[in-house]
Structure formats: structure tokens, C-alpha cells
A and B are shown apart, each in its own frame.
Chain A
Amino acid sequence: MDILLEVQDTFHHVPDDAVQILADMLDLSVVDVEQTLTFYHFFSKEPVGKYAVYLNDSAVSDMFGRGQVLKALEEEAGTTFNTVSEDGLIGIWGTADIGMNDQEPAAIINGTVFTELDPPKVKKIIQGLKKGKDLQDLVKEVGEQIHPHQLLPVMVKNNLRQKGPVLFADYEVGKALQQAVELPPEEVVEIVKESNLRGRGGAGFPAGLKWEFCRASGGDEVYLVCNADEGEPGTFKERVILTELPRLLFEGMAIAGYALGVKQGVIYLRYEYRYMKEYLESVLQEMREQNLLGKDLAGKQGFDFDIRIQLGAGAYVCGEETGLIESMEGKRGEPRNRPPFPVTKGYLDQPTVVNNVETLCSVPKIILEGADWFKSMGTGESAGTKLLSISGDCEKPGVYEVEWGMTIRELLEMVGASDVQAVQVGGPSGTCIDPSQFNRAIAFEDLATGGSIIVIGKDRDLLKDFVLNYMDFFIEESCGSCAPCRTMNLILRNKLQKIMAGDSSKGEIDELLNWSMVGKETNRCGLGQTAANPIISTIENFRSLYESYIETDSEFVSSFDMAQAVAESCEIVGRVPNIEAH
């Protein structure tokens, strides 16, 4: 992966020669190297331009003017979407959600993030690129200095709106680690287990149990991976943790490392967040100097632990823990079959714990304050707090740390949202609820979420702007190896389009719903099992929107358009069709 990233950066694509050299070096066939290369969005076999502009494709980006930004980009760069300008300078591409939903439209240019774009900014940026200006200087030109650290770019706002009692409460770096290493490792696991801390990535598996399974499985080497590949459209909380609380995260990893007997921790950082890599490296270095990483950590003889950062290259499915492990091994990020689970056979077939960023950040606080303190917050099945990324039609988009159990109604009030048509909880793979359900709570036992909340206003076209966008997203981001995921998402999207074109009968809404249930039963990973959720939850909660497209009571509507079907052949033979006569 690292080699491919470097080649891509240098040549703005991965040329055939480079593939051949890599194949020879690794003793692989050319197609084998290419199967990895072509899996990732930010690798390309064709030149993507000296400056490759990846404009966010997310639904929220569309809400805030992506169309106009794209038009301005095309005009200024003198090229069209999905192509490179003639001089090879600028290419314009789309990309799945880049974790900037609170400041859309946003784009990534050669790893640098530009946010809150509008046509004048686009003009400035493209003209600057044409003049050969440095990207960082351009960022300063169109953005304002927000983060005090010089290694962090000026444009990405963190929009941290509400600090809660767990993650964002004041704390002293290193104290929790010090306390942890004075306990036997099993006891650290026991405390985390006792706290009922559940995985914050979305699935909610108890973290302590995962650790216990890993400890029980033996193996020569144990690995700890921090999953910083947040790709669920609408989530950006980890962006905020990584830049606001990196020390807390690294300390959490060190404690996990101690509890599990890990020597090397890895942060799998999504490509979209590579702009913060240098900053994170500097924090790691600082912590090494403070003996919070490295050898004999916190003065504990024989406890060696360090962290390295592994960059991804653009693949939503790598947020699934086994897809992530495959990617770390330099392969296509296709989720694995389970069993075996990563805790017994993970990275390089060794026991591996993959924990979400937010999960690991909760650990030091639990060690310091105790499991009972943690359990005193939240609900019965969801202890502690949750970091929410809230975006869409609201006054105050951003990141909020709230106790589990908050209702959607309270949440909407908190972010300043009125005239709400729907709330998408948990991103596209979650559920879309209507106002009658706004008294439901954010909790594993009710509305589970990894943190993505998108507020959808009354004036939005829910099916066209959201459901369709989400289906396109899943079609593109599916690894494709499970037959039902590869085939059904496409079939569902096309059926949805047929309904929206007014070519369907009433019965076809139920048909669409029935077809949507196949993936949940048959697919291997979370992506495949939830990819139909945008359709399922909107048919269940917004059926009238579907019905509004049905024009007749008849049981059969032909979607066959005779005139269109014969248009091409008529043109060739120069005949004017006379359909009505037949």
C-alpha cells in the first residue's frame, strides 16, 4: 500500500512500468498487483492530473451547492467531470464522503482538504494552481487560521459544539497509563469489561469481551489496530478526536497494548485524513520523548509499545474490521469470512483487536474514574457518552458529546433544527426516521449509531437526493465479492429509478421491499447486510413518497418505450417511425 501511495503521489497515476516492477519485486503476476491497485479509489492506472480535485459526492455536499461548485470547477479548469485538462494539470473527480459533512461542499486536492467551497473560492484555487502556487498557501488564501497547530491546515473547522463528561473532560496525559501499568493486565481487561464499554464504530460489540477473547486465544504476536477509517457518510467525529485529543487516543492504545500484551499498535487512517498525518506523527514523537510510548512505558520494566500510522487509499468497506486487516496486509480490502474472528486470527493470522478511535479514547477515562462512574451515564445497555456528528439542515452542525439516551427531539433542539422531514440516524446503513418517531432515543437498544446524524429538511427530495445517492454509494463501495451484494444493490437502485420515473404499478413498491430483504440474509459483511436499509427504512416510514410516483391503479405498467427502442435503428435507415399506426 505504501509503495503504491508513493508511486501515485509521484506520477499522479500508477504507470504500467511501475506495476511490472512491483510484480517482479514481489514475485506476483501483473494482474495480481493490479487487483489491489484497482480496488482503491485514490489509486489510478490512468493519470488523474498533476492536481487531482476529488469533490465530495455525499448527499449533504449536494444540499449545500455541490452542483454549482462542480460547474465552477469545470469552467475554471477547462475540463469536465471525470477527465483531466488537456495540459494534464487539473483533473476533476468525485469521491465518497470525506468526513467534512459539517462544512460542505468540500474537496481533496492532492491530499489537502478544501472546505465550504463556493464558485469564487473555486476560481481562486484553480487560478492559483495554474500559476503554480503551493497548495498550503492556497489554503491560507481561501481559509482562515482555525487550529493553533501549524502542522494542521487552516481550512478544516472542528466545530466541536458540546464537550461531555467522558471524552472531552479535562485530564492529565499519562496518568491513566501510569495507573494501568500498576495493575495486572487481566485486571485492566476486567475493568473495561465491567464498564460495559461497547464498540463506538457502530456494531457495539463489548470492548472488554473482545479483549478477553483475544487474551484467551494465544498466538506468537498480538496486534492492536485503531480503526480510524470512518467512512459512513455523515460521520466526522473521529476527525475531531484525532486533531483535538490525539494524546488521549494514543494513551488509550497504550493501555490496550498493556492489557493485551501488544508491542506494535497500528492506526489505520483513512486516506481522506492524510492531511493530519504529519501532525499525528509529531504527537507520537512527543509522547515517545515523555516515555508514554517506546520502551519501558510509564516506567514499567519490560512493557514496550509503539504506534505506527497506516494510510488507507479510499475504500469505505475497509472500515469493516476484517476488510481493514486485509488492506493492512496490502491486499484488496475484502471482508473475510468469519469464523475465524480477528481476535483469534487477524492481521498476519495472529490474534488482533480492532477498536474504534472513540472506543479507545474512553479507556483512559474508565481507568481513572472507574467502571461504576462510566456506567452511571447513559442507559441500561449503552453506558457512557456518545460523540455525534450532526449535519444537514440545522443551524449548528458539528460534533456533540452527549449521554446515550438522548431523544431525537432533544437532539434537534440542541442543533437548532426546525421543519424537519426526516432524520438519517447512523448514516446510509442506519435508518431514516419520520417525525412520529422523534421521541426515540440514541442507544444500542433503540436507535444505534456509530455517530452519523443527518437532518433532512421539509423541502428536500428524500428519495432523489438521499435514497438514490445512498444506493449509488453502496454500489460503488461494495467490494463486489458477495454475489447478492454486487447484484442486488444494482437491481434495487434500478427498480427505485423505475418507480421514480413513474413507470411502476402499486405492487412494485412491495416488490422493491421484498427484494431489499435478500442482502440482509445472505451477505457476508455489514455493508452487504445493510446496503438496502435506505430503501427499507424509507418504504417503512415514508411510503407515501413512493406512492406519489404511482400514476395508476392498474396492476401492470409497461416501462417499454417503443419509440425509444426503435430510435437508433430508425436513425440509421432514415425512417420516421409511426408508432401510433401499429
Chain B
Amino acid sequence: MNKNGKLKFEIDGKTCFAEKGQSIIDAAAANGVFIPSLCHVEGVKPAGSCRVCNIKIDGRTMTACTTPVAEGMVVDNDVPELNELRKTVIEALFVTGNHFCPSCEKSGNCELQALAYRYQMMVPRFPYEFPVKGVNARAKLIFHDQNRCILCKRCIRTIFKDGKHVFAYRNRGGEHLEVVLDEELASQFTEKEAKEAMEICPVGAILKKEEGYLVPIGERKYDKTPIGSDIEK
């Protein structure tokens, strides 16, 4: 421990410092180290559901969002073995949904797409499943498109109306799990809430109605700089 009461630890050989109780992923970001994730939201209890932030501690694979930093911890992050696992998980997400980037309003702002570029996915190694999924357009200001949903739980964990969950899982398992929205609650969204819901979704599963392509494709966040570069600067 150093004199400011911070925990000293190491990621890929780089000395880092963390607050007590801080997760590895947040502490890494604060030290300029990018650990990829599709479900993490800083300040919200971690879900550990996307499994993309897997890191290694003493040879054991752990999720960086759910593991707090301990003094003297030695973390492997940007190493071929883990990057390959991350790429595999991302590819599996692509083939088990219907992700057609060119026609998606979120293209360029989509974290799944951006991570696929970062880990140099060309074509998924797995065959496409082309699952049949639905779109719910009944809420007043938002569309909810199951085809693009990666079931990361971000919306479930962060979006509330009157203190109640607007989004929730339904069913379980590999073939039937989906995220659904409470139409009544979602219809009460203000313009601002609808925009926030769209932004919290890492992909294009939640979109704001009556507004699209305000920023042209090619000029969006990850079109200009790769994902993680704001942390790594």
C-alpha cells in the first residue's frame, strides 16, 4: 500500500493504484488500461454477464468487473490467450443474434461492433444461427429490437420508472432467454429518458423513435477512434 492509502497492483507489468474496494476494471481505466466489457456500467453493481472482461490472476480466469483489487495483485489482461477468448465470445454473440451493421442506427456507436474491430474479427468462426426474434414498437418513444439484443442486462440494471424495472429477462437458457420491456412503464419515458435508454444499450436493441442518423455513419464515436482509446490516451 502506498502512502495515500491506495492499493498497489500490476496489470501486464504496469504498476497501478486503486481505491480500496474498487473493481479491477474501474481501477484499470483510472490507470489508463483498457479492459473490454459489454455489460459493465461504472457505478452500478456489476453483473458479470458478458464475460468479455475476463482477466487472469495467478493463472485463474476472473471477471474484472466483479473482482475487487487486492494489494499486490498481478493481473494479465492484454495477452493473446485472453484476447482470443474475448474474440470468441464476441463472435458467438454475433452468430446467435441478427447483427446487420450496415442497416443499424447504432453502427459506429455500437460497442459490440467496435470490439469486433478491436479484436480483428473478420468473419465469425461459428455458423450463423439466424434466430427468429421480435421487435416491440408499442412503447411511445422507443423501439425494442430483440434481434440485436446481447442480453447484457445493462438496461435491466439501470433503467427504472417510479423505482420499478422497465426491462427484464424472460424465460431462461440458450434458446428462450430474452429481454422484454414493460410497455406501460416504457411509454411514460420522457424524451431525455428515451435517449438515455438508447445510450445505455451497448448495441442497437433500444432505439429512439422518430430520430435517426443525425450523425452520419463514418463520423460516429468509434468510426474516428477505436474503442478504448479514450482510456488509453
A480 touches B177 (CB 8 A): yes
Q: What per-residue 1/0 map shows which CB atoms of B22-61 lie under 8 Å from chain A? A: 0000000000000000100000001111111010000001
B67 touches A39 (CB 8 A): no
B49 touches A482 (CB 8 A): yes
Query: Known: A39-B172, A480-B174. Is A490-B166 also a contact (CB below 8 A)?
Result: no
B174 touches A475 (CB 8 A): yes
Query: Known: A32-B165, A494-B127. Is A481-B61 also a contact (CB below 8 A)?
Result: no
A521 touches B54 (CB 8 A): yes
Residue of A nearest to B66 (CB): A337
Q: Kindly identify, within residues 496 to 525 of chain A, every residue whose CB is under 8 Å from any CB belonging to chain B.
A: 498, 515, 518, 521-524
Query: Known: A483-B51, A483-B150. Is A32-B164 also a contact (CB below 8 A)?
Result: yes
Query: Known: A481-B47, A483-B49, A521-B85. Is A31-B174 also a contact (CB below 8 A)?
Result: no
A29 touches B51 (CB 8 A): no
A490 touches B165 (CB 8 A): no
A28 touches B165 (CB 8 A): yes
The 8 Å CB contact of A476, one of B48, B49, B67, B175, is B175
User: Is residue A484 contacting chain B, with contact meaning CB distance below 8 A?
Assistant: yes
Cα A477 to Cα B177 in complex, Å, equals 11
Contacts of A491 in B (CB 8 A): 92, 95-96, 126-127, 129
User: Is residue A183 contacting chain B, with contact meaning CB distance below 8 A?
Assistant: no
Query: Known: A34-B170, A332-B172, A337-B48. Is A486-B66 also a contact (CB below 8 A)?
Result: no
User: Is residue A478 contacting chain B, with contact meaning CB distance below 8 A?
Assistant: yes
Q: Kindly identify, within residues 515 to 569 of chain A, every residue whose CB is under 8 Å from any CB belonging to chain B.
A: 515, 518, 521-524
Contacts of A39 in B (CB 8 A): 169, 171-172
Cα A29 to Cα B164 in complex, Å, equals 5
User: Is residue B104 contacting chain A, with contact meaning CB distance below 8 A?
Assistant: no
Q: Kindly identify, within residues 42 to 89 of chain B, every residue whose CB is under 8 Å from any CB belonging to chain A.
A: 46-52, 54, 61, 63, 66-68, 85, 88-89
Cα A488 to Cα B92 in complex, Å, equals 7
Smallest beta-carbon distance A184→chain B, Å:
33
Contacts of A28 in B (CB 8 A): 164-165
A27 touches B168 (CB 8 A): no
Contacts of A481 in B (CB 8 A): 47, 49, 151, 153, 169, 177
User: Is residue A487 contacting chain B, with contact meaning CB distance below 8 A?
Assistant: yes
Query: Known: A332-B169, A490-B96, A491-B126. Is A483-B50 also a contact (CB below 8 A)?
Result: yes
User: Is residue A59 contacting chain B, with contact meaning CB distance below 8 A?
Assistant: no
User: Is residue A148 contacting chain B, with contact meaning CB distance below 8 A?
Assistant: no
Contacts of B150 in A (CB 8 A): 483
B173 touches A477 (CB 8 A): yes
Cα A518 to Cα B46 in complex, Å, equals 22
Smallest beta-carbon distance A44→chain B, Å:
11
Residue of A nearest to B88 (CB): A518
Smallest beta-carbon distance B124→chain A, Å:
10
Smallest beta-carbon distance B66→chain A, Å:
4
The 8 Å CB contact of B168, one of A34, A482, A486, is A34
B165 touches A486 (CB 8 A): no
Cα A27 to Cα B165 in complex, Å, equals 10
Contacts of B49 in A (CB 8 A): 481-483
Cα A35 to Cα B151 in complex, Å, equals 13
B51 touches A524 (CB 8 A): yes
Contacts of B176 in A (CB 8 A): 480
- Not counting A34-B180, A39-B169, a sample of 7 additional A-B residue pairs whose C-beta atoms are within 8 angstroms of each other reads A35-B168, A480-B171, A483-B52, A486-B177, A487-B174, A494-B127, A521-B61
Give 9 closest A-B pairs by Cβ, nearest first: A480-B177, A475-B174, A31-B168, A487-B92, A29-B164, A337-B66, A35-B168, A337-B48, A490-B174
16 contacts between A and B (CB under 8 A): A32-B164, A34-B170, A315-B172, A332-B169, A476-B175, A478-B173, A478-B174, A482-B51, A483-B51, A484-B51, A486-B173, A487-B93, A490-B129, A490-B175, A518-B85, A521-B61
Interfacial residues, chain B to chain A (CB-CB below 8 A): 38, 46-52, 54, 61, 63, 66-68, 85, 88-89, 92-93, 95-96, 126-127, 129, 150-153, 161, 163-177, 180-182, 184-185
